[in-house]
Amino acid sequence: MSSETKQILTTDGIPLEVSLKKAEKKNKIKAFLLVAPLLLFIIITYVFPIGDMLMRSVDDKMVTEMLPKTFKSMEKWDGQDLPPEEVFEAFYFDFQKLIEEEREGKLSTQLNYTKNGFKSIIKKLRRKSKSFEEGNYKEQIMSVHRRWADVEYWRAIKRRAPAYTYQKYLKGVDMYENEKGEIINVPEDRRVHRILWMRTLEIAFFVTVFCFLMAYPIAHLLATLPMKYSNLLMICVLLPFWTSLLVRTASWMILLQQQGIVNDFFVMIGLVSDDNRLEMMFNKTGSYVAMTQILLPFMVLPLYSVMKTISPSLMRAGKSLGGTPFVAFWKVYFPLTIPGIGAGCLLVFILAIGYYITPALVGGASGTLISNQIAFHMKSTLDWSFASAMGLMLLSGVLVIYWLYNKLVGIDNIKLG
Amino acid sequence: MALPKYTEPHYRIWHYVYLTICAAVFFFLVAPLFVIFPLSFNAEEFLVFSDGMKRLDPDAFSLRWYQDMIYGTKNPWGLAAKNSFIIAIFATIGSVILGTVAALGLSSRHMPYKGLIMAVLISPMIVPLIISGVAIFFFMAKVGLAATHTGIVLAHIILGTPFVVITVTATLSGFDHSVTRAAASLGSDPVNTFMKITLPLILPGVISGGLFAFVTSFDEVVVVLFLAGLENTTIPIQMWTGLREQLSPTILAVATCLIILSTLILVTAELLRRRSERLRGINR
């Protein structure tokens, strides 16, 4: 009994299985075509640009392109003693070309990043090289400044030969590669980024904890109250949620200032004296307080939607089986809310870790986060490749949490409002 | 919440402690917003309650900061408001169209790689804004759209679509697909079916997604800070500059207007949500 004889045919004489598959495929294409415009849009304007950030963060072609002959001739040089005459000659010709194009300043800035002291000797070389004679460039260049006769500086140039580098990532965690190619920590007094990473994690973690502690009781209240009252109270959660972030930050700036209402209140109840008002703004306290209030709705909403589905009879059952209300809560109710806790905590943590506006306004110097540092390098130092590297380091952290969130909660289960 | 009569005293106490905690949290959530109202009517330049205000002296209140907001010299708010509305409206239209169409595809059970595609489409909502800002800035600078309205609108469409996708997919999850099949069997073409049958049913979800997209665009500052030139200034940018330089009562007047706007949007969104729940309840 072969399967062919048993095949069911449609009216057109095509086997049903084939026909169904065809229809299925058609439906698949139809569904995909609907998603395609948005998907393409997001990929072109968003996903690719993030890839572009990755390219920028490792890109080091600038020096490679400025000194092509030098790096070619350096290939044979072992880096032990001073480079041979060809290297000096190649460097001289590369350098002359840069002077013609007026790009020697850029070279000196770039090389100075690698090793301090390049700026002045390149300037000097530029001046002296006008009167150079043909031949024996090694002697002539070395006579410009004694640093040109120092092998360390030639090694520093050679280190810039590769078109790609991971230096920016090392810098992001306060490390660097020294002359011998070892990766070492920067001196303790100059470590800024590690402190920022730790502070970002610390603030995000505590904001999440505070949000959880505050959101749990009110989500419970909202879920257990009769509809009539809970709808009204829900407005209290949703109003801040819909209000402009800047408005909410502004209100905290008013409240927390030294002459502000919170301080007035503390003075009134005698907690602090009038001439000794607390500084709650432009420091960590400001970041904590404002961020907790701003992110609180993001914790309440997922908790509420989970608690809403828990039947009150479960608690009653727990109690009727001899548990005290606390035991019933802890053994029955709390475990059922864990999905909501997971969703809320991950959401708040993700949002907090990338916060920028609020810390910039109320955080001061001690309350700023990694995002502020990225913005600083984008706008002030214009070191875009470093900003990109820091951004991607932050992004990889967020993506891990996003992946976890997707696993635990499912992206399609995100609820809004 | 009334407690049963047989509740033991220490649980009774605990219950009141719990209610007090809840009240405190609600206060913490909402009270900061209400500080702005009275201070925006302050007759003086300082951002503290003057003695006159504490005595409710009518002379201590004035509308001068509202006048300054509208008629003030070298006033940035008019241009900013105009830009904000133009950008937000176009961004909303773009997000709603792209997002709704995509959500239709995503809720089809034939959609391949649903999880992965959904994760990509939602990512602008999850990725920290500063990173989105940097990436979008690089893109817009490359294609020459930095410091243009078009560039900002496109950026806000990117940030707004996740909200539309989420709300519309959620509405479609309770959608009875047999009605579209019924329409098709009665000879309606897909576009007609969508306009006459599907859209009216999912409209609450679409509008509430649109509201999210509107608010996202209207309130967005991080990405705009990278993209905007002087001509493209928006309300959030002006607020940001104002808050950084000097907190003036004029900003509070603007903030009050924004709170009123967000209250209106909230009420609309809530009414729509309830209507949608009711409609879907009937469908089931």
Interface of B with A in 140-159 (CB under 8 A): 142, 154-155, 157-158
**Length of chain A as a residue count:** 417
Cβ–Cβ below 8 Å for A253 and B243:
yes
Asked if residue A245 lies in contact with residue A294, where contact means CB atoms within 8 angstroms, the answer is yes
For residue A168, being part of any structural domain is answered with no
For residue A186, being part of any structural domain is answered with no
Cβ–Cβ below 8 Å for B154 and A45:
yes
Interface of B with A in 69-98 (CB under 8 A): 98
**What CATH number has the domain spanning B79-283?**
1.10.3720.10
Minimum CA–CA partner of A233 in chain B: B26
Whose structure tokens read 């013609």? A100
For residue A170, being part of any structural domain is answered with no
Whose structure tokens read 């289960």? A413
CATH of the domain at A328: 1.10.3720.10
Distances (CA, A) of A242 to A110, A245, A331, B159, B170: 47, 9, 36, 16, 20
For residue A369, being part of any structural domain is answered with yes
Q: A104-114 vs A85-100: helix axis angle to the nearest 10?
A: 130
Selected for mutation to probe chain B from A22, A41, A45, A248 (highest B CB count within 10 Å) is A45
Cβ–Cβ below 8 Å for A52 and B33:
no
Show the 3-state SS of chain A.
CCHHHHCCECCCCCEHHHHHHHHHHHHHHHHHHHHHHHHHHHHHHHHHHHHHHHHHHHECHHHHHHCHHHHHHHCCCCCCCCCCHHHHHHHHHHHHHHHHCCCHHHHHHHHHHHCCCHHHHHHHHHHHHHHCCCCCHHHHHHHHCHHHHCHHHHHHHHHCCCCECCHHHHHHCCEEECCCCCEEECCHHHCCHHHHHHHHHHHHHHHHHHHHHHHHHHHHHHHHCCHHHHHHHHHHHHHHHHCCHHHHHHHHHHHHCCCCHHHHHHHHCCCCCHHHCCCCCCCHHHHHHHHHHHHHHHHHHHHHHHHCCCCHHHHHHHHHCCCCHHHHHHHHHHHHHHHHHHHHHHHHHHHHHCCCHHHHHHCCCCCCCHHHHHHHHHHHHCCHHHHHHHHHHHHHHHHHHHHHHHHHCCHHHCCCC
- The domain in which residue A95 lies consists of 61-163
Q: What is the pTM of this model?
A: 0.85
Same domain, A294 and A250: yes
Show the 3-state SS of B31-94.
HHHHHHHHHHCECCCCCCCCHHHHCCCHHHECCHHHHHHHHCCCCCHHHHHHHHHHHHHHHHHH
ipTM, two decimals, is: 0.87
What does each of the 284 residues of chain B score in pLDDT, given as a tens digit? 567 777 778 888 888 999 999 999 999 999 888 888 888 888 777 777 777 777 777 777 878 778 877 777 667 888 899 999 999 999 999 999 999 999 999 988 888 888 889 889 999 988 999 999 999 999 999 999 988 999 999 999 999 999 999 889 888 887 888 888 899 899 889 889 988 888 888 888 898 899 999 999 999 999 999 998 888 889 999 999 888 887 778 888 889 999 999 889 888 888 877 777 776 664 43
Same domain, A217 and A106: no
Distances (CA, A) of A328 to A313, A332, A336: 11, 5, 12
Same domain, A208 and A345: yes
The total domain count for chain A is 3
Distances (CA, A) of A225 to A18, A218, A230, A300, A328: 56, 10, 6, 15, 19
- How far A28 CA sits from the closest chain B CA (Å)? 5
Answer left, alpha or beta for residue A111, where phi above 0 means left and psi between -120 and 50 means alpha. Answer: alpha
Same domain, A78 and A38: no
For residue A229, being part of any structural domain is answered with yes
For residue A136, being part of any structural domain is answered with yes
Same domain, A246 and A263: yes
Backbone torsions φ then ψ of A177, nearest 5 degrees: -100, 125
Whose structure tokens read 């209610």? B19
Residue B134 confidence (pLDDT): 93
Divide the 417 residues of chain A into consecutive groups of 10 and give the mean pLDDT of each group. Answer: 62 83 89 93 95 88 85 82 86 87 84 82 84 82 85 84 84 80 81 90 95 95 88 87 90 87 85 81 88 93 88 85 84 88 89 90 85 90 89 92 80 57
For residue A10, being part of any structural domain is answered with no
For residue A157, being part of any structural domain is answered with yes
Same domain, A132 and A263: no
Same domain, A237 and A276: yes
**Letter for the amino acid at B164?**
V
Same domain, A261 and A368: yes
Cβ–Cβ below 8 Å for B28 and A214:
yes
Same domain, A130 and A29: no
- How far A91 CA sits from the closest chain B CA (Å)? 33
Same domain, A253 and A364: yes
Which sequence spans correspond to the domains of chain B?
9-65, 79-283
Same domain, A112 and A31: no
Same domain, A100 and A34: no
Selected for mutation to probe chain A from B29, B40, B45 (highest A CB count within 10 Å) is B29
Tell me how far apart the alpha carbons of residues B189 and B192 are, in angstroms, rounded to a whole number.
5
